[in-house]
Amino acid sequence: MSALGRRCDQTLMALHLRFKHHKSRARHSGDF
């Protein structure tokens, strides 16, 4: 269970970071 949870955590963190990066990038073009 801990291994699965850790993997889910990593995926969520990666998605969160990617979303954050995309948001900060899109802010210049006015998408978000």
1-22 average pLDDT score: 87
Do 23 and 32 form a contact (C-beta atoms < 8 A)?
Answer: yes
Please, what's the b/e burial string for 8-31 (b: 16 or more CB within 10 A of its CB; e: otherwise)?
Answer: eeeeeeeeeeeeeeeeeeeeeeee
Say which residue, 23 or 28, is predicted with more confidence. Answer: 23
Per-residue pLDDT at 24: 74
Structure tokens at 11: 């995926």
Q: Is the pLDDT of residue 29 over 70?
A: no
Query: What pTM was computed for the model?
Result: 0.49
> 26: which residues sit within 8 A by CB, 6+ positions away?
32
